[in-house]
């Protein structure tokens, strides 16, 4: 991408006029698309794996290790947000006002620096050996359970529960058999001695699976209800970068006589709010509880997700109320741009950042710490998948709202002027979905979260007493 921006022959020349542009050649397009493809491949390999790789450096079987993992997730998200802040301010300013080529060189140098650091410490990292295809193992359990669907589960059945003997399995925690989702236990039932050889190994892995494989699938199923609650919670996060920016476009952006706030800068507010909360939580709240209780008392995943859902509802309600004020002020003065200051939008953008702080970070921690060790990378990928699904569902919701309200006197969405819409109704709709999500989490999903935490590796009697 940097070469394409810096070498004139790798890009089309500047347009003499907007209607007289020379189209790029095939080779120039190939350079551009190759750079974008490498971005996608790099992000796909880096984002889910660096979270899991960082978690591998900590002993999550102990209480201290789990506390360290929560701090790691918080600080990872903090630095991720700081990097975005720098990219969207300093780097974008350099690209826009100084040099487009230099704007690409800076992140290129940063990547080279990060690669150097990674290779420098390579011999000091805990590196888990590949176990194989996790997805294939999960499918095998489902297929084996389906093939044995007529087997009745009782106390006299024999389960295939071999020790973790292979080199790739020795670093994993042996999962004990549980009674949740008992249907899948059929995959591990030995119905015929011929299903195992003389060394007690499975003859057909698509018919007989180990208890370890079954429990790995159960761990995923136990967190799916909470994961779904997170997806609905992420709806409100996406509004700040879409309709929130449109609101900023139609407000008074002047600060003093000589400065106007670029609307895109409002996207920095959620990042600042998120980073500020993480810093206060790790540097003030946790040390304060350490002094008060002799041991750091951290907010549980359940409580943080619950607070995140509440913030998502509050974010949409505040957004709707602010939009009513902004539009009424604009209509009162008969202007496209409302006289209301852009500062009115700060609370809803800040709440959006707090939703991410309280919902996204614990969701990432849940998927990387309470799934089995062999699935941490899959958990990281699933976290980013949830953000993508939320965006796609949000797009579908927008299209439904546009189609349903198109013929009304004042549609909720559509067109280039928010003053002609009822955007607040759309915000309130998402708030209602958030309320339903709150009920779903409170009375259904959190039950699975409790069950999963009771089954987590390293849980001891002292933790049970503390919970009681």
C-beta separation of 446 from 304 below 8 A: no
Distance (Å, rounded) from C-alpha 187 to C-alpha 44? 32
Tally of CB atoms within 10 A around 211 = 19
What is the reported pTM? 0.79
- In this predicted structure, what is the pLDDT of residue 371? 77
Tens of pLDDT, residues 137-146: 889 999 999 9
Tally of CB atoms within 10 A around 263 = 18
C-beta separation of 373 from 330 below 8 A: no
Three-state SS annotation for 95-120: HHHCCHHHHHHHHHHHHHHHHHHHHH
Beta strands in 174-294, from DSSP E residues, in sequence order: none
Find residue 341's DSSP bridge partners: 252
Distance (Å, rounded) from C-alpha 201 to C-alpha 216? 19
Burial 100-115 (b: 16+ CB within 10 A, else e): ebebbbbeeeeeeeee
- The top-scoring range by mean pLDDT among 214-228, 270-284, 343-357 is 343-357
Pick left, alpha or beta for residue 341 (phi over 0 → left; psi -120 to 50 → alpha; otherwise beta): beta
The DSSP 8-state label assigned to residue 207 in this structure reads T
Residue predicted with more confidence, 219 or 377: 219
- In this predicted structure, what is the pLDDT of residue 159? 84
Tens of pLDDT, residues 71-80: 887 888 888 8
Beta strands in 95-250, from DSSP E residues, in sequence order: none
DSSP per position, 266-315 = GGHHHHHHHHHHHHHIIIIIHHHHHHHHSS--PPPHHHHHHHHHHHHHHH
Tens of pLDDT, residues 366-395: 887 777 777 777 887 888 888 889 999 999
Tens of pLDDT, residues 256-273: 777 788 887 888 899 899
Phi and psi torsions of 277, nearest 5°: -65, -45
- In this predicted structure, what is the pLDDT of residue 464? 42
Distance (Å, rounded) from C-alpha 175 to C-alpha 137? 15
Residue that is written with structure tokens 């505040």 in the block: 318
Residue predicted with more confidence, 161 or 63: 161
Cβ-in-10-Å burial (0-12, 13-18, 19+) of 67 comes to middle
Residue 43 vs residues 46, 83, 259, 384: alpha-carbon distances, Å: 5, 15, 36, 11
Residue predicted with more confidence, 154 or 284: 284
| pLDDT band per the 50, 70, 90 thresholds, residue 133 | confident
- In this predicted structure, what is the pLDDT of residue 454? 46
**Mean pLDDT score of the chain:** 83
* Nearest by Cα to 341 from 418, 266, 252, 244: 252
Cβ-in-10-Å burial (0-12, 13-18, 19+) of 26 comes to exposed
Tens of pLDDT, residues 188-207: 888 888 888 777 788 788 88
Tens of pLDDT, residues 288-316: 887 777 665 778 888 899 999 999 999 99
Phi and psi torsions of 59, nearest 5°: -90, 90
Residue predicted with more confidence, 128 or 123: 123
| pLDDT band per the 50, 70, 90 thresholds, residue 343 | very high
Enumerate residues 6+ apart whose C-beta is below 8 A from 15.
21, 22
Segment among 205-219, 324-338, 440-454 with least mean pLDDT: 440-454
Residue 275 vs residues 66, 266, 268, 271: alpha-carbon distances, Å: 21, 15, 11, 6
Distance (Å, rounded) from C-alpha 147 to C-alpha 142? 9
Segment among 12-16, 102-106, 285-289, 437-441 with least mean pLDDT: 12-16
- In this predicted structure, what is the pLDDT of residue 64? 75
């Amino acid at each position: 991408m940097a070469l394409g921006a810096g070498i004139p022959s790798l890009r089309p020349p500047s347009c003499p006029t907007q209607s007289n542009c020379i189209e790029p050649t095939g080779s120039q397009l190939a350079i551009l698309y190759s750079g974008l493809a490498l971005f996608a491949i790099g992000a796909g390999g880096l984002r889910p794996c660096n979270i899991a790789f960082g978690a591998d450096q900590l002993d999550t079987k102990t209480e201290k290790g789990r506390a360290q993992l929560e701090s790691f997730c918080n600080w990872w998200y903090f630095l991720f947000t700081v990097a975005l802040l720098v990219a969207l301010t300093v780097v974008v300013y350099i690209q826009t006002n100084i040099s487009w080529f230099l704007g690409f060189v800076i992140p290129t140098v940063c990547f080279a620096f990060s690669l150097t650091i990674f290779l420098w410490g390579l011999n000091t990292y805990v590196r888990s050996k590949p176990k194989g295809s996790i997805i294939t193992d999960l499918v095998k359990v489902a297929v084996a359970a389906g093939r044995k669907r007529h087997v009745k589960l009782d106390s006299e059945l024999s389960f295939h529960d071999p020790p973790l003997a292979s080199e790739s399995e020795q670093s994993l925690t042996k999962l004990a058999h549980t009674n949740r989702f008992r249907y899948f236990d059929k995959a591990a039932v030995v119905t015929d001695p011929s299903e195992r050889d003389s060394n007690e190994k499975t003859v057909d892995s698509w018919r007989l699976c180990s208890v370890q494989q079954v429990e790995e699938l159960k761990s995923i199923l136990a967190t799916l209800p909470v994961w779904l609650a997170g997806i609905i919670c992420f709806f409100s996060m996406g509004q700040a970068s879409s309709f929130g920016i449109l609101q900023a476009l139609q407000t008074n952006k002047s600060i003093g006589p000589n400065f106007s706030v670029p609307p895109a800068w409002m996207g920095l507010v959620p990042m600042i709010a998120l980073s500020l909360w993480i810093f206060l939580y790790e540097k003030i709240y946790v040390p304060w509880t350490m002094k008060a209780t002799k041991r750091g008392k951290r907010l549980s995943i359940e409580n943080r997700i619950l607070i995140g859902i509440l913030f998502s509802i509050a974010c949409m309600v505040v957004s709707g109320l602010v939009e009513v004020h902004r539009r009424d002020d604009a209509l009162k003065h008969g202007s496209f741009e409302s006289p209301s200051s852009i500062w009115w939008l700060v609370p809803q953008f800040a709440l959006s950042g707090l939703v991410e702080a309280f919902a996204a970070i614990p969701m990432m921690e849940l998927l990387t710490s309470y799934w089995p060790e062999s699935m941490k990378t899959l958990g990281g990928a699933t976290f980013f998948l949830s953000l993508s699904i939320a965006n796609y569902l949000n797009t579908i919701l927008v299209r439904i709202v546009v189609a349903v309200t198109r013929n009304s006197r004042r549609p909720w969405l559509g067109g280039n002027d928010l003053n002609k819409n009822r955007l607040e109704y759309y915000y309130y709709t998402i708030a209602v979905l958030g309320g339903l999500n709150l009920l779903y989490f409170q009375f259904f999903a959190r039950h699975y979260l409790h069950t999963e935490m009771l089954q987590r590796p390293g849980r001891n009697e002292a933790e049970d007493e503390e919970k009681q």
